[in-house]
Structure 1
Amino acid sequence: MQNFERRRDRFDLFDSMESPAVNLCFRMDLPDFRPWCKEQDLAPFHVLLCAVLRSILKIENFRYRVFEGEVIRIERLLPSFTVVNQHFDLNFAQFDWSDDVRTFVANGQAAREEAGSMLELNRKYAGMSPREAKDQVFVTCMPWLDFTSIQHPMASLATPDIPSLAWGRFSAGPDGGLQLPFSVQAHHGFVDGYHIHLLAQQIAAELAAIMQA
């Protein structure tokens, strides 16, 4: 927590505001990993989710949370993301972390099927304790939309400490790469625009590393 203590005055400043959230939406450049996914028979969404969550853990500012009035640093992530069920209602998929990309993808696909078949909200998700909830980031994907902004829901305007991430439809980028709209919402006491820039760079690097492994 030594790195956080250097930001303590910034945290106190933003945390005292009615809404301490910073929310940026931008076009993210990525290597085109879809042909590799096709060769490996891996779902692109889940490969990208793996790269995103690995990146979150590597940038310390995205690991800070507020629990019972104190700043903590999480040591793990519980992967979760939104799905739509058979009636096109929102649900939440959850699964166990794996450092192996193939196992990660398989776990994520199984969780998608399970959550998508539920009529009510995922009971496992609804039963999380407040402390368990801190070991996640909120992830949603809207592959139909090339959106330019988004407002993520928060339990309270004063508590945006769990980062919220969203991305949309892929499109062709420069030099044969990909672009996609990407949104990051986080507590400004923890995360600045610079850290969001680092996150975007890290996600691209993680995808490149996954393809080379």
Structure 2
Amino acid sequence: MHSLPNDCHVIDLESWPRKQHFAFFKEFSLPYFNVCVSLDMAALYEQCKSAPYSFFHSYIFLTLEACHDYAPMRQRIIDSCPIQLSTVRASVVELADDDTLRFSYFEKHDSIQRFSEHALQVAKESKGQPFFSEAFAATEGQPDLIHISVLPWLNFTGFSHAVSEGHGLGIPKLVFGQYDKRTGKIPLSIDVHHALMDGLHVARFVQILQEKINDYCN
């Protein structure tokens, strides 16, 4: 049994339009599906050249905002029941000095300035700790996360994740690729649990994220 996070509620299956879809897909041995898209980041990239905030921090900040604006990205499965979270955090993969990965746990903030200050401090602490740190033990595997990785070396068109046995909590997995200075595009891989979301929901989230990026630059 998992304890429910604060600020969440169990979705009423009887009134939920996805009741039958949820029952069908949650029993799949591989219930996640993947979509790879391209985001137009040209304006954001150019703006960050002269801004005090990094390109990386800016699009992670906007991604967290988009997740909070779109409820399906905050739905999870706990003890075979669908739940709706009010807030989520980002579990972001970053490289330590020895080229091994660490997880940095970023909270949502209302401004890019506060978020960037927070992210810099969290990253400094996580990179100075071993992989199995106290933060990892206390945070990884919690349902109120969005898993985010960045592969700035690869302009990919497809992606697959390492998976473990079990159905998981329905946590979305996002991977940003290499920014293409010629086209202004960046690839984004999105893995979501099919019991909670369909392709239409992924498309709506991508639209919200792209609008966040565009509005941020205006």
1:189 partner letter: A
2-structure distance, mates of 1:129, 1:118: 15
2:186 maps to which residue?
180
2-structure distance, mates of 1:203, 1:107: 21
1:154 maps to which residue?
163
User: What does 1:124-203 align with in structure 2 at a 5 Å threshold?
Assistant: 124-128=135-139, 133-159=142-168, 161-172=170-181, 178-203=184-209
Which one of 66, 84, 89 corresponds to residue 77 of structure 2?
66
Report the RMSD for the aligned CA atoms in angstroms. Answer: 2.1
2:21 maps to which residue?
10
Normalising by structure 1, what TM-score?
0.88
2-structure distance, mates of 1:30, 1:157: 36
Alpha carbons 1:23, 1:185 under 8 Å: kept: yes
2:63 partner letter: V
1:118 maps to which residue?
129
1:62 partner letter: M
2:66 maps to which residue?
55
1-structure distance, mates of 2:42, 2:198: 25
Normalising by structure 2, what TM-score?
0.86
Q: Which runs of 4+ in 1 moved over 4 A?
A: none
1-structure distance, mates of 2:189, 2:169: 14
Where structure 1 has 5 or more consecutive residues not aligned to the other structure, the ranges are none
Identity over aligned pairs, percent: 20
1:98 partner letter: H
Quick one: structure 1 residues 31 and 9, their matched pair in 2 at CA, closer, same or farther if it must change by over 3 Å?
farther
Are 2:109 and 1:98 aligned?
A: yes
Where structure 2 has 5 or more consecutive residues not aligned to the other structure, the ranges are 1-10
Stretch moving more, 41-50 or 87-96: 87-96
Quick one: structure 1 residues 180 and 31, their matched pair in 2 at CA, closer, same or farther if it must change by over 3 Å?
same
Q: CA deviation at 1:42?
A: 0.7
2:75 partner letter: Y
Q: Report the number of matched residues.
A: 207
1:24 maps to which residue?
35
1:104-132 Cα deviation digits (max 9, x unpaired): 112112222221222333321222385xx
Quick one: structure 1 residues 122 and 38, their matched pair in 2 at CA, closer, same or farther if it must change by over 3 Å?
farther
Alpha carbons 1:18, 1:157 under 8 Å: kept: yes
Alpha carbons 1:21, 1:186 under 8 Å: kept: yes
Alpha carbons 2:64, 2:108 under 8 Å: kept: no
Alpha carbons 1:160, 1:186 under 8 Å: kept: no
Are 2:216 and 1:210 aligned?
A: yes
